[in-house]
Amino acid sequence: MGRSDNSRNRVFKYKNNILSTEAADPSLVKDPSLIIYNAMRGIGHNVIVSNGSQTDMIYDKLMLGSGFLASLAHETYEPDAPNYTPRISGYLDKNFKNISLSVIKRNHTGNTDHCFYRYSNTPPGTGYCVTTYMGDGDPLPSFQGEPILLPLKGDVDEIANTYWEGLNEDNRISLMVREGNYVKIINKY
């Protein structure tokens, strides 16, 4: 998803077990610091996902023996006033069949709230979703509440197409669905 011209100028690329964002048109990039990053990395049989540079930071800290929650303890929201985009992250631990999600956002006092969620033994055909924003506004309202339970029906291509079609057409930029080693990417550009 992307709302600014800079955020909309992106595509997903997948190589060597890493999903990264790249500029669709490099000549249009205004500030790459918040739009070019690794969005997903494999770590053994486990998977890290995020909406920013924290993907690599989580990976590095997990490789040093830290846990998912501890790796995010000092993170804050993005410095993109007035929206202060929340940093959202996820970790799929296939060994223990756990899903961990994090939303790190600015609160009404200007401080940082760290919201963590952990789900064990998630049934096949279901997933959980957090988003950066909840609708439109000025500034954009941050995600509120519990992660959203999502049905995952069909094969990877069907799941990708279902959720791609469900996204706001103006703001959808890239989507990736992965099952095992099979990856389906849909890019707007």
Per-residue pLDDT of 86-101, as tens digits, reads: 999 999 998 878 999 9
Q: 37-151: which CATH topology?
A: Glutamine Phosphoribosylpyrophosphate, subunit 1, domain 1 (3.60.20)
For the chain, which residues make up each domain, given as ranges? 37-151
> Which has the closest alpha carbon to 4: 27, 28, 22, 37?
28
Per-residue pLDDT of 169-189, as tens digits, reads: 988 999 999 998 899 999 999
Per-residue pLDDT of 132-150, as tens digits, reads: 999 888 999 999 999 999 9
pTM: 0.93
Sign of the four-CA dihedral 144, 185, 152, 38: negative
Residue 188 is classified by DSSP as: -
User: Which residues lie below 8 Å from residue 100, measured CB to CB, with a gap of 6+?
Assistant: 68, 69, 90, 91, 93, 116, 117, 118, 119
Residue 26 is classified by DSSP as: G
Q: Helices marked H in the chain — which ranges?
A: 5-8, 54-63, 68-71, 156-166
Joined together, the tokens standing for residue 55 give 């993907």
d(CA 135, CA 167) in angstroms, rounded, equals 12
